[in-house]
Amino acid sequence: MQRPVIRRLGNRSAFTLVAAVARSSQMRSAVRIPSGSHARVIPSFMCSLRAYSGSHHDEPSSRSGQYLLDKNDVLTRVLEVVKNFEKVDASKVTPESHFVKDLGLNSLDVVEVVFAIEQEFILDIPDHDAEKIQSIPDAVEYIAQNPMAK
């Protein structure tokens, strides 16, 4: 199935090849779910909608101000991420720590901490929201209310 893609690319770089194969496989990707004796095909973009569906998600939504993840669990995980960040003195980290004022991080360090938090919770934080996360309470609040956080 991917051979025509390889032939068309010829002598291009490996990155171009990988990107082309990824794009072509994303366009054809789907999830098969058995339903009785017949299989149902669901486009891959529909799979992410499940978190927002009331039938599959019994927890309250973030739109009502409720928390989807337990705040104490989120706080514990965020504290662990920040304490393990190489430019932070772990003894200075508290549940109320501000990244710049209390921990002495610069703006680039804050971006790296937010990225590490994204990885911990398997989450993509949009840039306009990431800029607002300047402290541990900011991170905990954002993650606890985010329906995609894991």
Domain boundaries, the chain: 71-145
Q: Which of 82, 90, 87 shows the shortest CA–CA distance to 134? A: 82
DSSP 88: S
Give the pLDDT confidence of 7-38 residue by residue, as tens digits.
Answer: 444 444 444 444 444 444 444 444 444 444 44
Least confident of 26-35, 72-81, 90-99, 128-137: 26-35
Structure tokens at 8: 């068309």
User: 71-145, what's its fold?
Assistant: 1.10.1200
Give the pLDDT confidence of 33-78 residue by residue, as tens digits.
Answer: 444 444 444 444 444 434 443 434 444 444 445 557 788 899 999 9
Classify burial at 116, counting beta carbons within 10 Å of its beta carbon; exposed 0-12, middle 13-18, buried 19 or more.
middle
